[in-house]
Amino acid sequence: MMRLELVKRAEKSRLMSVLSPVFAVALTVVFAGIVFAAQGHNPLSGIWYFFLEPVTSLWGVEQLITKATPLIIIALGLSVCYLSNNWNIGAEGQLTIGAIVGSIPPILFPDFVNPLVLPLMLLMAMAGGALFALIPAKLKTSFGTNEILTSLMLVYCSNLFLDWMVRGPWRSPQGYNFPITIDFHEWAVLNAVDVGGIYLNLSAPIALVLVVILAVVMRSTLKGFEIRVLGQSPRAGSFAGFSNRRMTAFAFALSGALAGLAGMMVVMSEIGKLQPVISPGYGFTAIIVAFLGRLNPVGILIAGLVIASSYLGGEAIQTSLQMSSKLATVIQGVLLFFVLAADTLILYKVRLVTGREGEGARA
Partner 1 sequence: MGEGTGDTGEILRRVGGDTPLLEVRHVIKRFGSFAANDDVSLKVMPGEIHALLGENGAGKSTLVKIIYGSLQPNAGEILWKGKPVTVASPAEARALGVGMVFQHFSLFEAMTVVENIALALPNCKATRELADTIARVSANYGLPLDPNAHIADLSVGERQRVEIVRCLLQNPELIIMDEPTSVLTPQEADQLFVTLRRLAEEGCAILYISHRLEEVRALCHHATIMRRAKVVAEADPARETVNTLAQLMVGNEIIRVIRDKGRLGPEAILLKGLTQISQEAFGVSLQDVNLSVRSGEIVAIAGIAGNGQKELFDALSGEEPLEKEDMVIFAGEAAGLMDINQRRLLGAAFVPEERLGHGAVPALKLSENVVLTRHGTGEGIARRGFTRFGKAGRIVEKVTSLFDVRKGVLDPEARSLSGGNLQKFVVGREVERTPKILIIAQPTWGVDAGAAAVIRQSLIDLSRKGAAILVISQDLDEIFEIADRIAVISRGHLSKAEDADTLTPEKVGLLMAGGAEKKGAAAA
Residues that bind partner 1 (CB under 8 A): 10-12, 220-223, 225, 228-229, 232-233, 235-236, 238-241, 361-363
Smallest distance, Å, CB 220 to partner 1?
6
Minimum CB distance to partner 1 smaller for 279 or for 296: 296
Minimum CB distance to partner 1 smaller for 50 or for 291: 291
Q: 95 exposed, middle or buried (CB, 10 Å; 0-12, 13-18, 19+)?
A: buried
Smallest distance, Å, CB 14 to partner 1?
11
Strand partners, 195: 198
Minimum CB distance to partner 1 smaller for 124 or for 230: 230
Strand, helix or coil for residue 127 = helix
Give the span between the Cα atoms of 265 and 201, in whole angstroms: 9
Minimum CB distance to partner 1 smaller for 195 or for 236: 236
DSSP label of 190: P
Minimum CB distance to partner 1 smaller for 57 or for 238: 238
Give the span between the Cα atoms of 125 and 117, in whole angstroms: 12
Give the span between the Cα atoms of 330 and 195, in whole angstroms: 34
Minimum CB distance to partner 1 smaller for 28 or for 79: 79
Smallest distance, Å, CB 108 to partner 1?
38
Smallest distance, Å, CB 274 to partner 1?
38
DSSP label of 323: -
Q: Which residue pairs, CB below 8 angstroms and at least 24 apart, start in 60-65?
A: 60/312, 61/198, 62/198, 62/199, 62/200, 63/312, 64/305, 64/308, 64/309, 64/312, 65/198, 65/200, 65/204, 65/305, 65/308
What is the b/e burial string over 191-210, where b = at least 16 CB atoms within 10 angstroms of the residue's CB? eeeeeeebebbbbbebbeeb
* 24 Cβ contact list (under 8 Å, min separation 6): 292, 335, 338, 339, 341, 342
Smallest distance, Å, CB 238 to partner 1?
5
C-alpha torsion angle, residues 269, 275, 277, 278 (rounded to 10): 20
Minimum CB distance to partner 1 smaller for 18 or for 222: 222
Smallest distance, Å, CB 12 to partner 1?
7
Smallest distance, Å, CB 256 to partner 1?
22
Give the span between the Cα atoms of 111 and 31, in whole angstroms: 54
C-alpha dist (Å) from residue 176 to 111, 182, 266: 22, 11, 24
Smallest distance, Å, CB 204 to partner 1?
28
Minimum CB distance to partner 1 smaller for 199 or for 225: 225
* 9 Cβ contact list (under 8 Å, min separation 6): 347, 348, 349
Minimum CB distance to partner 1 smaller for 52 or for 240: 240
Give the span between the Cα atoms of 167 and 275, in whole angstroms: 9
Smallest distance, Å, CB 349 to partner 1?
14
